[in-house]
Structure 1
Amino acid sequence: MAISLTAAGAVLLAGCGGGSAEDAKPEHRSFALDGRSLTIDSHDSDLVLVPADVKKVEVTRWFKGDVVLGDSPKASWMMKGDRLSLRTHCSGLVKTCDVKHRIKVPRGVAVSVRGDDGHVRATGFRDALTISTEDGQVTVKDTTGSLDLRSDDGGVHALGVRSKRISASSKDGAVKIEAAVVPDRVNVTTDDGAIAIGLPKGASYRVSTTSVDGSVDVAVPHDPSSPHRVTARTTDGKVSVRSAN
């Protein structure tokens, strides 16, 4: 019995070396898109999204999977209509299972992301962008279209955005908004996390803030009749609304 335990321990230790998806050889696929909207349904993957001068949705995948005492790991991708499904299948007692996707989206396409585990980053979109993930950080930069960003467990950051309408929420994580132009509507909520909103100078705002357990600091011109509405509510965390530099 001692020999068997020792051998099993050696196998387990051997399986712990692993590695990340960045070490894997990239794979490429292109998918035709029906219409001017794209839904990305992702399972257990980090995503990087960018608009590009392409006619199809172009996907690059990095996948590294090693497993001991289990089925071989697999990653799959499939387009049906306007829905791109990205799946990772890993099982086993000890495993390395890491995947990352970079997705080039044709310009003029509204994008919706539904992820269950993984960080999501998007940069440069001019059309509506909706991102929802159950476990992972959401980071959006340099956008113009409306934003609807949500994470159940992770921070949400919208930086240098020119979107007129911004909605962001997190159940467990901080939310940071840095607006590059005066927005019409900003709505931010968190259950457990701080809220920091930076707004351009030269305008007044109708600001409504609530923190059940945390301080509130509002340092922007306030006008209850302003068309630029800002709402920030958290159950546990500091709320800061300030003028951006």
Structure 2
Amino acid sequence: MTRFTVPARAARAALATGVVVALAATATACASAGEDEHPDRRAFALRGGTLTIDSDDSALEIVASDAHKKGTVEVTRWFDGSVVIGDEPEVTWSMKDDRLVLRTKCSGVVADCAAKHRIEVPRGVAVKVDEDDGSVSARGFRDALTIRTADGSVRVTDSSGPLDLRSDDGSVRAEVSSRRVSARTEDGSVRLGLSAVPDRVESVSDDGSVTIELPRATYRVTAETDDGGVDVSVPRDESSAHVVSARTADGKVTVRNVN
């Protein structure tokens, strides 16, 4: 019987060709969580008055609602991903001590994954968000809301509770009636639109413009930039109880009345 062998060089070339073909097939398509037509849903018990959300790689949509049962947090998860060479991608969720932990595992040769979570929270619950990589949007909060993201934008709407918003790399936006707002980004713009006269607003960007729009009233304003213009057009009074601070290292600062 005659045996045929494939030279080692040819085998390596074939393997390399296969990898190249696989890479080419996946390079033109990016994962999108929105393409998941059958999202997973789960309810978690919440015992206290504060929910902490710990997420490493997912877009987050957080909603406060009267329609949800007190003591229950409902989570919807969309996920799409693939790995050409390596372990199958995996998403997990768990709740312990009122801390909701969301994890996405996606590594290997041409790993392409995308995850999104919508977290529905009953009214009367304060929320703290610690996001490693992903955008965060929130709406409907009457209680305190704290958001930190290392890489992603932050947007809050339709909320009246105290806000503490931070992004290391991304823009910060808020259209709210909150009386106390703190917003900071190291790389991105900040834009705050307030529909109620605030007690205190603090806004800082290390690299980006800062814009604050306020209802008509008299304010004690501090506005500074190291490289850019400053435009303050609201009525000012150093004795006002309504304090506004806007600073940026590189960009324009604008403090004006709501149109």
Please indicate the TM-score interval, normalised by the length of the shorter structure.
over 0.9
CA distance in 1, matches of 2:237, 2:210: 21
Matches within 5 A, 1:1-245: 1=10, 2-16=13-27, 17-24=29-36, 25-52=38-65, 53-55=67-69, 56-159=72-175, 161-201=176-216, 203-245=217-259
Number of residue-to-residue matches in the alignment = 243
SS in 2 for 1:47: strand
CA distance in 1, matches of 2:31, 2:235: 51
SS in 1 for 2:249: strand
Kept in 2: contact 1:37–1:110 (CA 8 A):
yes
Unpaired runs of 5+ residues, structure 2, are 1-9
Deviations 1:85-115, CA, capped at 9 Å, x for gaps:
0000011111221000001001100001000
SS in 2 for 1:213: coil
Structure 1 stretches of 4+ moved >3 Å: 1-4
The TM-score, its normalising length taken from structure 2, stands at: 0.92
Query: What amino acid maps onto 2:169 in structure 1?
Result: D
> Deviation at 1:8?
1.8
CA distance in 1, matches of 2:124, 2:107: 39
> Deviation at 1:18?
4.1
Deviations 1:54-104, CA, capped at 9 Å, x for gaps:
221000000112111111100000000110000000111112210000010
Q: Sequence identity of aligned pairs in percent?
A: 56
The TM-score, its normalising length taken from structure 1, stands at: 0.97
Unpaired runs of 5+ residues, structure 1, are none
Normalized per residue, which structure has more strand? 1
> Deviation at 1:142?
1.0
Query: What amino acid maps onto 2:110 in structure 1?
Result: V
> Deviation at 1:14?
2.2
**Superposition RMSD in Å:** 1.0
SS in 2 for 1:214: coil
Kept in 2: contact 1:45–1:101 (CA 8 A):
yes
CA distance in 1, matches of 2:26, 2:233: 54
CA distance in 2, matches of 1:4, 1:105: 50
